[in-house]
């Protein structure tokens, strides 16, 4: 395997220039198109004519892979039926908070419950299979959270048989509907309300 280094020269087809061009290897920040993940300090081949990145040498692929995996470990993405996103809106209204800011607070709060409360995790599994959790998954939901927390939540979920992030989120949202909107678990609703208000007060204080 040839190991390229900064300043080396080569040739490649540049899509922007639509022809074969001479290139120079340079170390640059690179953004993964599919996920918008920033990969710092990647060796790439740069077009001499337009300055665009035209190629990424094979030796850079482990860095790309690492960046993709890091992103995966820090983010949770799932598609859910729109009536379950309505649950988030209803809860935000209940707690008189802005839905965009409340959504990640809600999900992190319930991931914490899944981690710390095994019977609750079992309930989430059952609710993920309930009729209310069904429906065409058309709303994309995503959450950034510390890798430790997501890892612990996924482990707790897997240990009770929740196999996908989508099932985890669907079960959590049905549980939140029951806990708060149906008043089934006032103690948890109170703690969630406190968490939402603390976050809101923190944001207000920071702006």
Q: Name the minimum Å distance from CB 8 to Zn ion.
A: 17
Q: At a CB cut-off of 8 Å and minimum separation 6, what does 26 contact?
A: 6, 7, 43, 44, 46
Chain centroid, CA 167 distance in Å: 15
- Work out whether the CA dihedral 96, 176, 145, 100 comes out positive or negative: negative
Using CB under 5 A, which of the segments 6-14, 102-110, 183-191, 192-200 binds Zn ion? 6-14
Q: Which of 13, 32, 50, 98 binds Zn ion (CB under 5 A)?
A: 50
> Contacts with Zn ion: how many residues (CB under 5 A)?
6
Angle formed at CA 86 by CA 81 and CA 87, multiple of 5 degrees: 100
Cβ proximity to Zn ion: between 24 and 71 the closer is 24
Cβ proximity to Zn ion: between 56 and 90 the closer is 56
* Near Zn ion in 114-173, by CB under 5 A: none
Cβ proximity to Zn ion: between 57 and 135 the closer is 57
Q: How many CB atoms lie within 10 A of CB 181?
A: 13
Instruction: Enumerate binding residues for Zn ion (CB under 5 A).
Output: 14, 16-17, 47, 49-50
């Amino acid at each position: 395997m040839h190991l390229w280094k900064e300043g080396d020269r080569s040739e490649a087809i540049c899509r922007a220039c639509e022809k074969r061009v001479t290139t120079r290897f340079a170390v640059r920040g690179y953004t993964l198109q599919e996920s918008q993940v920033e990969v710092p300090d990647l060796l790439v081949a740069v077009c001499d004519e337009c300055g665009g990145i035209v190629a990424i040498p094979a030796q850079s692929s482990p860095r790309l892979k690492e960046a993709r995996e890091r992103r995966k470990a820090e983010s949770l993405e799932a598609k859910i039926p729109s009536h379950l996103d309505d649950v988030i809106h209803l809860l935000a209204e209940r707690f008189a908070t802005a839905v965009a800011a409340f959504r990640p607070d809600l999900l992190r709060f319930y991931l914490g419950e899944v981690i710390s409360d095994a019977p609750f995790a079992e309930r989430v599994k059952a609710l993920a299979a309930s009729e209310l959790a069904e429906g065409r998954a058309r709303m994309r939901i995503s959450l950034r959270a510390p890798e430790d927390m997501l890892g612990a939540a996924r482990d707790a979920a897997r240990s009770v048989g929740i196999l996908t992030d989508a099932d985890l989120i669907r079960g959590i949202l049905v549980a939140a509907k029951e806990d708060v909107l149906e008043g089934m678990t006032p103690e948890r609703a109170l703690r969630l309300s406190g968490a939402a208000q603390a976050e809101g007060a923190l944001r207000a204080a920071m702006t």
